[in-house]
Amino acid sequence: MGEFLILLVSTALVNNVVLIKFLGLCPFMGVSKNTESALGMGLATTFVITLATAATWILETWLLQPFGLGYLRILTFILVIAATVQFVEMVVKKSSPELYQALGIYLPLITTNCAVLGIALLNVMEKSSFVHSMVAGFGSALGFTLVLLIFAGLRERLALARVPAAFAGAPIGFVLASLLALAFMGFSGLQLK
Amino acid sequence: MIAAILSLSLLGLILGFGLGFAAKKFAVETDARVAELEALMPGTNCGQCGFPGCSGAAAALADGKASPTVCPPGGKALIQALAAKLGVSVDLSGVADEGPKIAAIEEEICIGCCRCLKDCPTDAIVGAAKQIHAVMREACTGCEACVDRCPTGAITMDPVPITLQHWVWPKPLSEGAKAWA
Amino acid sequence: MTGFVATAPLASPHAHSGGRVTWVMGKVMLALAPATLYGFWLYGWPAIHLWVITILFSLLGEAFCVRLMGRRAIPVLMDGSAALTGWLLALSLPPWAPWWLGAVGGLFATVIAKQVFGGLGQNLFNPAMVARVALLISFPVPMTQMVAALPLGSVGAPDFVQGLRITLAGMPNYDAVASASLLGHAKTELSRGIDLVQTFASANAPALSFIGARTGSLGETSALLIAAGGIALIFLRIITWHIPVAMLLGIALPALIGHAIDPARYLGAGTHLLSGAAMLGAFFIATDYVTSPNTRLGQLVFAFGCGFLTWVIRTYGGYPEGVAFAVLLMNALTPAIDRLIKPRIYGRDRKGKPMELPEEKA
Amino acid sequence: MGLMEKIFALLEHGPGEHWGVHPDDRKRPAADAPLRVLPLPERLHVPLQQHIGAAARPIVLVGQKVLKGQLLAEAQGATSANIHASTSGTITAIGEITAPHPSGLPCAAITITADGEDRWIDSEPAVDPFSLAPKDTAARIAAAGVVGLGGATFPSALKLGLGLRAKIHTLILNGGECEPYLSCDDRLMRDFAAEIIDGIRIMLHATGAQKAQIGIEDNKPEAIAAMTAAARKFAEISVCPVAARYPMGSEKHLFSALTGQEVPADGRTTDLGVLVHNVGTAWAVHEALRHNRPLVERIVTLNGGAIAFPGNIRVPVGALVEDVLAYASLKEVPARLVMGGPMMGSLLPHTRVPVVKGSSGILALTAAEAAAYDPGPCIRCSSCVRACPVGLLPLEMSAHIAASDLNGAVDLGLKDCIACGCCSFVCPSHIPLVHYFNHAKGELAAQGRTQLRNDAAKRLAAARAERIERDTREKAEAAARRKAERMAQKAAEKAAAEAAAAQEAAGTAAESSEVTT
């Protein structure tokens, strides 16, 4: 239990997928204008990442490895991820049309969110157990959601600030992200023992 | 080679069936938003938006072909209602709200031709043939549909005068505005 | 004499309490002065030079940006916020650090962390702490090179010119004793596998002193003077007790528990509170108006978080000191705290629903 | 209030009261100066709307002679109030005059040129108000044009009727006068304590309440003493000193200070069995029922650094601020001329503005007193959050309004704002927060009006569509009918022709048969 907790903290905070590994910047910049859609995006991505981690672990262990099909890894992973995203899109469209409208193009774009593929690939490289992979995937996704929420809160406040015209919009978003990454450097080398 | 083809095909098949099943299960009927949007519109079909009537504008809004600022007579209130319904944000500061205007008929020029009566979407103009027409201020929406119909140019759009009850505090200059000047 | 005509409609009120932003900043600087002067005495001329340079470059950065945006610089500089930022940054640098550290830090604080966001009140992170963290990550060696105190007038203390040489040209071969701060020492020894009981039993362990004749940056030396300045600010009604108390509690509580469980692994609460930038952070950094929550309740949560994260980073993290990181992390959470914790509106409950009418008494 | 809420409140503010601000009150020496009477001006301009609700309808004509207290304009609609002549003289105009309002827009007014006699209209002798039914008492108060003199100018009779219907048990008299500079209520309580107490008893009778509490801020010891002495004979009336704190005079805050309860956000004090009236209103009620005198004059505080002789003056309604200032003499040209208190009063556009029923004071403030600086950026010090007596976030609300996000401000509680001015008063950046809120409230009201107009337009368009449909249907029906008629006619004609032919044939036959017979 304690091991998984450490793994969660490590993947969510210390090796945060957005701020330390710089993966998934596209939705991080795109869907962080307000907290509600950021939460929706975070949850959708968490779902996709966790599911994709499980599916890719299964594929890797029972299909790709036994048959020596390592060269098809990225292809198969993308296939699974795309299918999962399609599924999530249907569910969101059905359950919350507002959220569907707010996420817009970024919802199908989870497919190409490099965080999803990245985490799946990294987990497979680790060659860890199924549960371990799942926890690591979930932790990373949690870190993504957390940072997305924090960033959305900051940007909501930024929307009311008098940012100079030259920096308004995306530029100040990137400056803000860099400062947030600076703050997250405080967790570097964190060892819970 | 065979294994690769087989495995990928199998995978594709499984996922395809799964998604097909999900698509049935989570099917969404085409949204009733057009009707909801149309209910918000003034319903006068004045045509200032450039669409065929309010229902046309509502359909364009739902398709994303029109912005919530499409309807001039609706004013800022309608823009915000539409934006909320569509789940988009609009910057109202750019919307020039000149304040409401209503039509006025100059009695010397009016020839009593009744053309404007027929075009008024709210029946706000009263009159009869060869009689001077008059605008009922309360009913006029300021849609300007009548202005071009008048053969003598007797109809003008006058701003509604500001009274003590309708006066609105002007927006204060933003902080430091003087320092920026 | 009744020739009065109003030019524009001005809203009420037509009276004012008389407070000004400049005075707020001025009072904070006044409260910082005793600890700063003591630090000057302790570390001599190099520290004074660094302080001046850091503030100068902060002002320069601010003035540059303001001019770039076509405004007059002097009225903006007069609000005192840039000078205060520079001052706080100077207090968190090693006293004998080279001049360019202060210069880069000062510019980074006012340009990147503040003016890019729109200037005073618009920044989301504490500018001084952003600069400190950026320097720490970019230049870890000069940022952690501490010297032992060498008070003004004592034997071997650098005079004005020697001080300039140290600040401008670095400090090679100077006979000042390089020294480690207490937290840094503890961290190094722990990583070498020596437990804390042994570390502090040995003779060369850094002393823990309330008055502050110890190694560290200017703002870390005298916990007593910093706390005194902070308490003065509370009495001047510039800040309230909420943030300092909650932040110190946030450090002390986990430290107490940890130390009780395993004194060889965890430093005691007193050590935590009196070393590093805990006091400076609690009274002067976390209390920054711009980057702390609006409500007192939110401030309590915010400051406790600052304290707790400070303890976590000090205890488990890779850096010996965590105040700056902790403050930045909680700064990032401030909008979320403000969103969740709002004052209760009259006649409504916390959620904003109108109150129920009390039951009719029969 | 739950336990959690108490803990939260303790953590946030410490023990005791916490809302509001403590401005320098500057009430003396004006409050201590004896009451003076304004010499009758040559002309009085009596606005037709001096109350919340619809403007009164004039019932006099230009050139008509009127006596003091004669009805000039009668209430129109459910919420309105009568307007009476403030002096005797001739009506010289029914036109417009600049309203005592920051917009500088005009309002309708009746101009009386005084004849100098100031003769009261003859009226029947007053009856004992306690012999009247509560409803009739209220009707007499309504006839006298009494409105709330605290500033809101809500017609008093309506409010009393509201209290009667809500079966209130307590009447609270607002003698808080928390605004700095103002002392008109203070002066009234010192000089007319017995009359106010009598007015309170009449109001108790009119509402059926059992007891009355008079809330007076403790910075007015003389008023407290005078009122306590006057109220001693009546067990049901008690004087309750309250802490001097702005805005104690806010209805809901005085209510909370006296009862310890809170008024729900969507409710009124009457929901909790309490009605709040101003002490000045009690005096006006006394005048109306005991002396048959309608509300035609009031006590106005003249104060501010630019005034040479500050003090309280009895001013007839409709006198120009110009006249009042001339009487009190200005030392210098004021930086701001304010009607009402400095915290909530409105800036006057110029001095040719009439005094109305709700004018509690005229302040000529120097630049130093107004202490206006150019606004700077918000430093998020949250002084405004702590000062706000309602518990709002003025800094966030104003930021949303500045970014034209009015709905964001509404979500933060803009509609609960009472515009008391505490936030602007404490703001170290001198941001005109109340100005932002005024702007947003006005803009929202304008949007609401547009919305109403749009809805009306939609109904009209629907009616038109229906009419056109009906017209075409009727036309079609008419056409069908005509066609049917034509068909019928044709058929009839045809039938007739056939019949005729047949008849003819028959006739011929008959003829022939006749012939044959």
Which tokens belong to C184?
């840094």
For residue C274, which amino acid is it? L
How far is C56 from C105, CA to CA, in rounded Å?
11
Please give the Cα distance from C314 to D438 (Å, whole number). Answer: 50
Confidence of residue B106 (pLDDT cuts 50, 70, 90): confident
Report CA-CA distances (Å) from C284 to A153, C91, C234, D333.
24, 11, 11, 45
Q: What confidence tens digit (pLDDT) does each residue in D95-107 have?
A: 999 999 998 899 9
Instruction: Kindly report the three-state secondary structure assignment for every residue of D117-174.
Output: CCCECCCCCCCCHHHCCHHHHHHHHHHCCCECCCCCCCEHHHHHHHHHHCCCCEEEEE
pLDDT at residue number D165: 86
Residue count (chain B): 181
Determine the Cα–Cα distance for residues A61 and A42; give it in Å rounded to an integer: 28
Q: Are C321 and C276 in contact (CB under 8 A)?
A: yes
Q: pLDDT value at position B60?
A: 83
For CA atoms A181, A185, A186, A189, the dihedral sign is positive
DSSP state of D112: E
* C interface test, pick of A6, A150, A187, A192 with most C CB neighbours within 10 Å: A187
CB atoms within 10 A of CB D350: 15
Closest to B171 (Cα-Cα) out of C189, D308, C8: C8
CB C280 within 8 A of CB C323: yes
Do β-strands D211-217 and B155-159 pair in parallel, antiparallel, or remain unpaired? unpaired
Beta bridge partners of D89: D66, D114
Q: Rounded distance, CA C85 to CA C130, Å? A: 11
pLDDT at C209: 57
Given a contact cutoff of 8 angstroms between Cβ atoms, the answer to whether C293 and C301 are in contact is yes
Q: Give the 3-state secondary structure of D402-426.
A: HCCCHHHHHHCCHHHCCCCCHHHHH
Say if CB B124 and CB B135 are below 8 A apart. yes
CB atoms within 10 A of CB D253: 27
Dist. CA B133–CA A128, nearest whole Å: 87
> What is the pLDDT averaged over residues D447-461?
82
* Identity of residue D235: A
3-state secondary structure of A88: helix
Q: Which residue, A183, A177, A191, A136, is CA-closest to A18?
A: A177
Q: Say whether A162 and C122 touch across the interface (CB within 8 A).
A: yes
Rounded to 5°, angle at Cα D26 from D20 and D29: 150
Query: What are the C-alpha distances in Å from D59 to residues B61, D72, D83?
Result: 53, 6, 10
The DSSP symbol for A12 reads I
Which of C271, C303, C301, C276 is CA-nearest to residue C288?
Answer: C303
- Of all residues in chain B, the one with the smallest CA distance to A85 is B19
Q: What is the mean pLDDT of residues C42-49?
A: 87
Distance CA C327, CA C129 (A): 8
Interchain pair A160, D402: CB under 8 A: yes
Cis bond leading into D377, ω under 30°? no
Q: Do residue C19 and residue D376 have CB atoms under 8 angstroms apart? A: no
Q: How far apart are CA D146 and CA D51, in angstroms?
A: 9
pLDDT in tens, C218-270: 777 778 889 999 999 999 989 999 999 999 999 999 999 999 998 888 888 88
Sign of the torsion angle spanned by Cα atoms D325, D328, D330, D335: negative
Helix axis angle, D193-207 to D156-165, nearest 10°? 50
Interface contact C6-D5, CB threshold 8 A: no
Beta bridge partners of A163: none
C234 in contact with A, Cβ within 8 Å: no
Q: Which of A157, A164, A189 sits opposite C335 (nearest CB)?
A: A157
Separation of alpha carbons D103 and C249, rounded Å:
53
**Which residues, 6+ apart, have CB-to-CB distance to C18 below 8 Å?**
D371
Strand order across the D237-242 sheet: D237-242, D211-217, D170-175, D274-278
The predicted structure's pLDDT at residue D285: 93
Cβ of D447 and B75 within 8 Å? yes
Which tokens go with B85?
């319904």
Q: How close does chain C come to B178, measured CA to CA in Å?
A: 10
Mean pLDDT of C13-41: 91
D381 and chain C: CB distance < 8 Å anywhere?
A: yes
Cα Rg, chain C, nearest whole Å: 23
Interface residue of C137, C316, C341 to substitute, partner A, most A CBs within 10 Å = C316
How far is residue C313's CA from residue C255's CA, in Å, rounded to a whole number?
A: 12
The residue ranking higher by pLDDT, C1 or C6, is C6
Minimal-distance CA residue of chain C relative to D2: C349
Chains with at least 3 CB pairs less than 8 angstroms from chain D: A, B, C
- Cβ-Cβ pairs closer than 8 A, A with B, add up to 48
Min distance B106 CA to chain D CA atoms (Å): 23
Whether residue C9 and residue B169 make contact (CB cut-off 8 A), yes or no, is yes
pLDDT value, residue D517? 40
The residue with greater pLDDT, C193 or C325, is C325
What phi, psi does A112 have (nearest 5°)?
Answer: -95, 10
Chain D positions in Cβ-Cβ contact with residue B144 (cut-off 8 Å) = none
Residues of D in contact with A155 (CB under 8 A): none
Which 15-44 residues of chain D touch chain C by CB within 8 A? Answer: 21, 23
Helix axes A35-59, A130-158, angle to 10 degrees: 160
What is the pLDDT at residue C82?
94
Q: Percent of chain D at pLDDT above 90?
A: 53
Considering only CB atoms, D404 lies closest to which of B41, B84, B92, namely B92
To the nearest whole angstrom, how far is the Cα of C17 from the nearest Cα of chain B? Answer: 19
Give the nearest partner residue to C339 out of A153, A183, A186, using CB atoms.
A153
**Cβ D228 vs Cβ D204: under 8 Å:** no
Instruction: Determine the residue type at C36.
Output: T
Shortest distance between the Cα of C12 and any Cα of chain B, in A, equals 12
Check CB contact under 8 Å for B170 and C9: yes
Alpha-carbon dihedral of residues A86, A92, A97, A98, nearest 10 degrees?
Answer: -110
pLDDT tens for D466-480 read 888 888 888 888 888
What are the pLDDT tens digits along chain A (193 aa)? 678 888 888 888 888 989 988 888 888 888 888 888 888 889 888 988 988 898 899 888 888 888 888 888 888 888 888 998 888 888 888 887 777 777 777 788 888 788 888 888 888 888 888 898 899 999 999 999 999 999 999 999 998 888 888 888 889 999 999 999 999 999 988 877 6
DSSP per residue, D448-499: HHHHHHHHHHHHHHHHHHHHHHHHHHHHHHHHHHHHHHHHHHHHHHHHHHHH
Q: Which residue of D has its CA nearest to A158?
A: D399
Question: B150 vs C336, which has greater pLDDT?
Answer: C336
C103 within 8 A of C53, measured Cβ to Cβ:
yes
Q: Flag if D435 and C297 touch (Cβ within 8 Å).
A: no
Yes or no: say if D202 and D285 are a contact pair by the CB < 8 Å rule: yes
Q: Which of A21-30, C61-70, D112-121 shows the lowest per-residue confidence on average (mean pLDDT)?
A: A21-30
Range in D236-250, D297-311, D478-492 the model is least confident about: D478-492
| Residue of C1, C14, C297 to mutate for D, most D C-beta atoms under 10 A | C14
For residue B97, the model assigns a pLDDT of 59
Contact between residue B110 and residue B131 where contact means Cβ atoms under 8 Å apart = no
Which of D429, A27, A158 has its CA nearest to residue C116?
A: A158
Which of B48, B171, B180 is the mutation pick for testing D, counting most D CBs within 10 A?
B171
For residues D3 and B34, give the distance between their C-alpha atoms in angstroms, rounded to a whole number: 49
Question: Which residue stretches of D315-421 are H helix?
Answer: 321-328, 367-370, 383-387, 394-402, 406-411
Alpha carbon distances (Å) from D437 to C297, C339, D434, D515: 25, 21, 5, 111
Q: Where are the alpha helices (DSSP H) in chain C?
A: 21-43, 45-68, 73-77, 81-91, 99-107, 127-138, 140-144, 160-169, 182-191, 196-201, 218-221, 223-235, 242-261, 269-274, 278-280, 296-316, 323-340
Residue A107, C-beta contacts closer than 8 angstroms, at least 6 positions apart: A41, A44, A85, A88, A89, A92, A100
Which of these, D133, C124, D187, lies nearest to A173 by C-alpha position? C124
Length of chain D: 517
SS3 A109: helix
Say yes or no for a CB contact (<8 Å) between B121 and D461: yes
Assembly ipTM: 0.87
CB C215 within 8 A of CB C206: yes
* Packed helices C127-138 and C323-340: angle between N→C axes, nearest 10 degrees: 140
Which residues of chain B make contact with D464, given a CB cutoff of 8 A?
A: 120-123
The half-sphere exposure of B94 on its side-chain side, counting CA atoms within 13 A, is 5
Contact by Cβ (8 Å): D94, D62: yes
Model confidence over D341-396: pLDDT tens digits? 999 999 999 899 999 999 999 999 998 888 888 888 899 999 999 999 999 999 99
DSSP states of D59-94: ---TT-EE-BT-EEEE--SSS---EE-SSSEEEEEE
